[in-house]
Amino acid sequence: MSTEQWTRLSTDAFNVALFAYVAGMLGYFHYLAFRRQPVWRLASSAAFLGLAANSVSVVARGFAAGRVPWGNMYEYSSLLALLVVAGYLFVVEGVYKVRVVGGFVLAFSVLTMAVAVLFLYVGPAPLVPALNSYWIKIHVVAAITGSSLFALGGVITILYLVKDRRERRAGAALAPVAPIMGGAVDLEDAPPHFETGADEPVGDGATRRGLLPPAATLDRVAYRTIAFAFPIWTFAVIAGAIWAEEAWGRYWGWDPKETWSFITWVIFAGYLHARATSGWRGRRAAVIALVGFASLLITYYAVNLWIVGLHSYAMGVLALPAMALNGATVRRRAARSAPHDAREEE
């Protein structure tokens, strides 16, 4: 196949994935409201269809460009959406059996892909010199994987805060009511945290069913997702520092992308530390995770689009400043090594 054919296949598969994610999102929201199992099966099937089409789009993009398909923000966004959906389908829904948050996860992927195709699209092209390294297969893959898991944890954390607020209100409303001595508490009137499964609270499904899973379930899933993402993000930061030394002659230079990646790492490290050592649970820890999620979005969008730095090539169309900076650095390194090379020749 020619480059044009691979590009067309990638674009068509991207559009199929986007519309499949939209259909799955609507189906999951319908299931959230009405708990119809056939609707959930259709929504899940649409999500898997979108995942397959998204994978085809990413692979075809790589063949069209003749390189790894994550060399600019459009490609990164497409792969990010893919990994977020995959993480939800195989981990949240597959392992934890939480089915009712799929609409929110797919909404994140739909928005990510919509922003990518509307504002970030660039045609397939060779990598700029600063990215032409085997480290792009190591550092960027780790960064995308960590970002997708942090994003998934961030979405679930937002839902946790919403559910926790409703449970607190329900608990406050039931607090004055006490059972008569010798009587029993009817679970039909219990607060929503008296639940039997990941998705469903106890009681009459028509009268007491909550839309979201218990807050404790959401908190647990968000925590484990972020805990899984953190070492991957740590490895991405370390690999990026090694790549920076190879490309620019220093491990760390407080470039805006380096700085915000480190800020994101510190926030999530504080979140995990607070939960592990200080006993922080619930809303206080969730607020830290939410700040980390916001920092992740700043690291990806704000730094790449609006702050000029050595990582400006991530946009694709902004490659020229980075190429010039990289060229200047290469010349400086060559000048430093020239006397050493001359001595070796002698």
Q: Is residue 181 part of a domain?
A: no
Percent of the chain residues topping a pLDDT of 90: 56
Q: Is residue 197 part of a domain?
A: no
| Residues 227 and 283 placed together within one structural domain of the fold | yes
Is the pLDDT assigned to residue 319 strictly greater than 60? no
What pLDDT shows up at residue 166? Answer: 87
Q: Any idea which of 2-16, 138-152, 171-185, 297-311 has the lowest mean pLDDT?
A: 171-185
CATH number at residue 265: 1.20.120
For residues 47 and 21, is the Cβ–Cβ distance under 8 A? Answer: yes
> Does residue 197 or residue 319 have the better pLDDT?
197
Is the pLDDT assigned to residue 337 strictly greater than 60? no
What pLDDT shows up at residue 280? Answer: 77
Is the pLDDT assigned to residue 242 strictly greater than 60? yes
| Residues 133 and 94 placed together within one structural domain of the fold | no
Write the DSSP assignment of 45-89 as a string of letters: HHHHHHHHHHHHHHHHHHHHHTS-S-SSHHHHHHHHHHHHHHHII
Percent of the chain residues topping a pLDDT of 70: 77
| Residues 136 and 237 placed together within one structural domain of the fold | yes
Contacts of 162 (CB under 8 A, 6+ apart): 212
- End position of a domain, from candidates 123, 146, 164: 123
State which residues form the domain around 165. 128-173+208-337
Q: What is the pLDDT of residues 85-143, one digit of tens each?
A: 999 999 999 999 999 999 999 999 999 999 999 999 998 988 877 778 888 899 999 99
Q: Is residue 302 part of a domain?
A: yes
Model pTM score: 0.81
Is residue 162 packed enough to be buried (19+ CB in 10 Å), middle (13-18) or exposed (0-12)? middle
Q: Is residue 344 part of a domain?
A: no
Query: Total structural domains in the chain?
Result: 2
| Residues 272 and 143 placed together within one structural domain of the fold | yes
| Residues 268 and 144 placed together within one structural domain of the fold | yes
Is the pLDDT assigned to residue 323 strictly greater than 60? no
For residues 80 and 144, is the Cβ–Cβ distance under 8 A? Answer: yes
What pLDDT shows up at residue 176? Answer: 57
Q: Any idea which of 80-94, 212-226, 238-252, 309-323 has the lowest mean pLDDT?
A: 309-323
Is the pLDDT assigned to residue 191 strictly greater than 60? no
